[in-house]
Amino acid sequence: MAKKEKWYKRIIPFLKEVRAEVRKVTWPSRQEVYNTTIVVIIATFFFGFYLYFMDIIFSWVIAQIKSFFG
């Protein structure tokens, strides 16, 4: 059975691998970040309003059912 290396002997190769992987990353441009941020903000507002109105509608329906049977 192979003996496991000490953690401090593995740290330098690990950091070299991390550095190599970070260099492979393609970072988005400022315009891409701006555009996706706008899409996320719009989608958040849209779904927020959608869920709010659906909650109001379902609450009204449940209240009507309760008043009919209650």
Q: Where are the domains of the chain?
A: 7-69
What's residue 19's pLDDT? 96
User: The pTM is what?
Assistant: 0.62
What's residue 26's pLDDT? 93
What's residue 52's pLDDT? 98
Q: Using alpha carbons, list the distances in angstroms from residue 18 to 3, 8, 10, 24, 52.
A: 24, 16, 12, 10, 44
What's residue 5's pLDDT? 78
Residue 51 one-letter amino acid = L
What's residue 2's pLDDT? 61
What's residue 35's pLDDT? 98
Q: In order along the chain (70 residues), what is the average pLDDT of each group of 10 residues? A: 76 94 94 98 98 98 92
